[in-house]
Chains A and B, each alone.
Chain A
């Protein structure tokens, strides 16, 4: 493959191996280094997964490779770095743009023009690549990323997954030998994420591109990865090696690996196929009959909760949606939705993108006005009430919690909501207690937008639950969260449930549903096509969690389910 330097001269192909030696970096104004003593050696054509909890330095490490750190960010850096024969510390990001293609987390925030093709050509135009050559390269990447039929589309009309593919295509247009991607799928639904990850695998396997991918969804990529670099925190040097070796040493594991470790499977399985070999030898006791589960209790003691064993007949519907219809520009979006949620019950609402999930939530809080149908909380109708009024008893967490946050401190965010509802004098929940429960006590005075994704979400949760709502509506709450933050969220949800809060959860995250939901409703084209216990998922090829795929027919959904059943649960949990 010929390469062009910035002045259009053809040069020899460079080796793209990455060598990092004792790299240490501190952000400007920070006390603690973001990276310390990082040593890595990555060969040409490797597929490297960079994993670790939020704030461990994954983005920082990737940004060192193309010189964005420290050239764009400032700060102090020491150590040696060699990327494809360049020294990013000396040459800077502009020079490195020819060597390292970079893809960011938010697909929206990386586009300069409005059409797909123009967007891809933008970098080439800036590099003064001759037009004929440019034509060829754009055509190449369009075909490579399977975007040829979208070439004339406007970027804003694309889905999230398509946008991210365009972003990858723009990075590839300069023909880099290395592609660095900073959590490219964290804003996407699973189907789109799968598409993006498959495209990356193809680039790696067919073209031999070196790929460094920072990612939370380990289970999706592990099968294709040559090396796993695990950053635990800035004080520890990263673990680096073949995925199996690294996974056995670190704590945050996908369900399959967690199960394999708990049951002593060796070698650790990374794919369901590998896991089935071991799973077939595990003695199976079929879970309680499905009939019991249909009552919404799960029946397996997954969530031991106060007095819930007796609730069976006595409970009444706290929250009910009856025959709800909504149309957008004359096109029906919701068509006769019926849904009831008991006090303290958690219902997961699943379905493909565009099936009307978010629309349903917005109808409930009064942001959209339904055509007809009823929404009732206890005996009170919510239809026609003002959003500000409804929000006192219905807490709604939108997809991007950042939209809620604007105050100077975490504490102030809670006070603002109370003030809006004239409750500052007599808050239903003491803000300090709520902050303690949210594990935000230490961050009371912090600026909310500076926090990590998980912390930011908890602040937003605080801001909407400080009125002590009877019903919580959560829209994709695990998007962009790491395993630890997810685990924390599940804990919070359980506590709220125990206090009798009903929860309606819109999510694509099957592992979350498997752990937390009492019932699952599947939405398709504006209609609820199934409403049953989470065991419904075990038979669904689309939604089955890893454990259900591993043990079909058992009704097990989570690692705990499986370990309980084989009598080996010593507290190992997945997230």
Chain B
């Protein structure tokens, strides 16, 4: 299991790489790497994706192709003509526009798949740890919201069934009332129950210290500096350099205030993950892909307009994109190592990583 931050960077890198190209070859490479990583790392992991990437593609690709074909009338290979009196859609429907639309849909699929993997492999608590320490309570709320989603989906299903056996049919908007009301009420009941359970477990006993005035003042000063810099930037192009500096000062001030607040939050972290070589390796892989995506813009560029051509493929950049495969390699290597270890060693205390206090 990799660090949640590494997974976040991985998902972002995939996003950047996918947005940088419309060449079908690179997109397919990215789609394959994402699916391999998902298959090895997210297999059997709990939170199910609400929609499989394949299903997403089945909707996104045709829809995007259709939309692009109807609204963009560039390209030389005309398939048919729509009468010109139809606003926006009237004109030539071209093969190039269909292709470009389909490629857009495929790009969206890659991004969707990457974030599905991220969502599946990161436990809720690790997501909370991605939030700065000062926002600990916000993080807890986020975590509760995330645990609430599957519960709510299940109760929605139950309530729909329960209403159906009373002869209820959903025909119009009003017919949703017998489903929405119990869903809301049971959600509220559950929220009250959870609040009670959290209080009974001592939540809120120590972690909310009163913010000292100084940190509050610091945040206000930081925000105002930031705003002043931004306004200066907008007003006069000649001021742009000093304005950026002022913005930076504002940002640093706010960051400092958040850090100060974080120090006041009194809680500890259970089994804080220690950084592993695998994490560094995966991060390195992402960096390689990222550099390739930024530097190789010209090679990544592909446009089907005005006439559909075969896309070119730079093997070096293709290879660099395989950097995104590192999480899968790390996972397989780790599983392999664990399988070859003495079975007794895998149990109890010895297996777990070291604990440490949270400095996040």
Q: Which of B178, B196, B198, B204 contacts A416 (CB 8 A)?
A: B178
Shortest Cβ distance from A136 into B: residue: B349
Decide if A154 touches B164 in the complex (CB within 8 Å). no
Q: Does B150 contact A (CB under 8 A)?
A: yes
Shortest Cβ distance from B197 into A: residue: A110
Q: Does A124 contact B (CB under 8 A)?
A: yes
Q: What would 17 more interface pairs be, CB under 8 Å, given A72-B199, A134-B355, A135-B355?
A: A68-B196, A104-B196, A110-B194, A114-B46, A121-B271, A124-B270, A128-B207, A128-B266, A129-B268, A131-B356, A134-B270, A153-B46, A387-B164, A391-B165, A402-B182, A403-B159, A416-B166
Q: Which of A104, A118, A403 contacts B125 (CB 8 A)?
A: A118
| Interfacial residues of chain A within 10-42, with CB under 8 A of chain B in the complex | none
Q: Does A205 contact B (CB under 8 A)?
A: no
Decide if B164 touches A66 in the complex (CB within 8 Å). no
Bound CA span A122–B164, Å: 39
**Which B residues are CB-close (under 8 A) to A102?**
197, 200-201
Q: Does A265 contact B (CB under 8 A)?
A: no
| Interfacial residues of chain A within 169-228, with CB under 8 A of chain B in the complex | 170-171, 174
State which of A92-100, A241-249, A520-528, A549-557 sits at the interface with chain B: A92-100
Q: Which of B144, B197, B206 contacts A127 (CB 8 A)?
A: B206
Answer whether A117 and B271 are a contact pair too, CB < 8 Å, given A68-B196, A403-B158, A406-B178.
Answer: yes
Bound CA span A139–B355, Å: 13
**Which A residues are CB-close (under 8 A) to B165?**
365, 367, 387, 391, 395-396, 398, 464
Decide if A464 touches B202 in the complex (CB within 8 Å). no
**Which A residues are CB-close (under 8 A) to B169?**
386, 388, 420
Decide if B147 touches A6 in the complex (CB within 8 Å). no
Q: Does B357 contact A (CB under 8 A)?
A: yes
Q: Does B71 contact A (CB under 8 A)?
A: no
**Which A residues are CB-close (under 8 A) to B128?**
113
Answer whether A404 and B162 are a contact pair too, CB < 8 Å, given A126-B207, A388-B167, A391-B167.
Answer: yes
Bound CA span A6–B165, Å: 51
Decide if A398 touches B46 in the complex (CB within 8 Å). no
Which has the most chain B C-beta neighbours within 10 Å: A112, A132, A134, A464? Answer: A112
Decide if B197 touches A115 in the complex (CB within 8 Å). no
**Which A residues are CB-close (under 8 A) to B162?**
398, 400, 403-404
Bound CA span A297–B23, Å: 76
| Interfacial residues of chain B within 143-179, with CB under 8 A of chain A in the complex | 143-144, 146-147, 150-151, 155, 158-159, 161-169, 177-178
Q: Does B313 contact A (CB under 8 A)?
A: no
Bound CA span A398–B207, Å: 42
Q: Does B203 contact A (CB under 8 A)?
A: yes
Bound CA span A417–B169, Å: 11
Q: Does A44 contact B (CB under 8 A)?
A: no
| Interfacial residues of chain A within 238-297, with CB under 8 A of chain B in the complex | none
Shortest Cβ distance from A133 into B: residue: B268
Interface magnitude class on chain B: 35 or more
**Which B residues are CB-close (under 8 A) to A402?**
182, 186
- Interface flags, A59-82, vs B, CB<8A=1, else 0: 000000010100110000000000
Interface positions of B (Cβ within 8 A of A): 46-47, 123-125, 128, 140, 143-144, 146-147, 150-151, 155, 158-159, 161-169, 177-178, 181-182, 185-186, 189-190, 193-207, 266-272, 347-349, 352, 355-357
**5 A-B pairs with the lowest CB-CB distances in the bound complex, closest first:** A97-B202, A121-B270, A420-B167, A154-B46, A94-B205
Decide if A94 touches B270 in the complex (CB within 8 Å). no
Decide if A109 touches B193 in the complex (CB within 8 Å). yes
Shortest Cβ distance from A124 into B: residue: B270
Q: Does A379 contact B (CB under 8 A)?
A: no
Shortest Cβ distance from A366 into B: residue: B164
Decide if B197 touches A104 in the complex (CB within 8 Å). yes
| Interfacial residues of chain A within 371-391, with CB under 8 A of chain B in the complex | 386-388, 391
Bound CA span A206–B336, Å: 41
Shortest Cβ distance from B201 into A: residue: A123
Q: Does A467 contact B (CB under 8 A)?
A: yes
Q: Does A7 contact B (CB under 8 A)?
A: yes
Decide if B167 touches A392 in the complex (CB within 8 Å). yes
Closest Cβ of chain A to B189, distance in Å, is 8
**Which B residues are CB-close (under 8 A) to A406?**
177-178, 181-182, 185
Decide if B267 touches A109 in the complex (CB within 8 Å). no
Closest Cβ of chain B to A406, distance in Å, is 4
Which has the most chain B C-beta neighbours within 10 Å: A148, A153, A392, A398? Answer: A398
Closest Cβ of chain A to B172, distance in Å, is 14
Bound CA span A106–B186, Å: 12
Q: Does A495 contact B (CB under 8 A)?
A: no
Answer whether A467 and B125 are a contact pair too, CB < 8 Å, given A68-B199, A94-B204, A405-B182.
Answer: no
Decide if A114 touches B47 in the complex (CB within 8 Å). yes
Decide if B196 touches A171 in the complex (CB within 8 Å). no
Bound CA span A520–B167, Å: 29
**Which B residues are CB-close (under 8 A) to A464?**
165-166
**Which B residues are CB-close (under 8 A) to A9?**
none
Bound CA span A66–B123, Å: 31
Q: Does A108 contact B (CB under 8 A)?
A: yes
Answer whether A134 and B268 are a contact pair too, CB < 8 Å, given A387-B164, A388-B164.
Answer: yes
Which has the most chain A C-beta neighbours within 10 Å: B158, B161, B195, B204? Answer: B161
**Which B residues are CB-close (under 8 A) to A113?**
123-125, 128, 143, 147
Q: Which of B155, B204, B270 contacts A125 (CB 8 A)?
A: B270
**Which B residues are CB-close (under 8 A) to A110?**
193-194, 197
Shortest Cβ distance from B158 into A: residue: A403
Q: Does A157 contact B (CB under 8 A)?
A: yes
Bound CA span A416–B162, Å: 13
Closest Cβ of chain A to B100, distance in Å, is 37
Decide if A130 touches B167 in the complex (CB within 8 Å). no
Closest Cβ of chain B to A232, distance in Å, is 26
Q: Would you give 10 A-B contacts (Cβ < 8 Å), ordered by A?
A: A93-B200, A114-B47, A125-B270, A126-B207, A128-B266, A130-B357, A388-B169, A400-B162, A405-B182, A420-B166
Decide if A128 touches B193 in the complex (CB within 8 Å). no
**Which A residues are CB-close (under 8 A) to B205?**
6, 94-95, 97, 126-127
Bound CA span A170–B204, Å: 16
Which has the most chain A C-beta neighbours within 10 Å: B123, B270, B271, B355? Answer: B270
**Which B residues are CB-close (under 8 A) to A417?**
166-167
Answer whether A131 and B194 are a contact pair too, CB < 8 Å, given A93-B200, A115-B123, A388-B164.
Answer: no
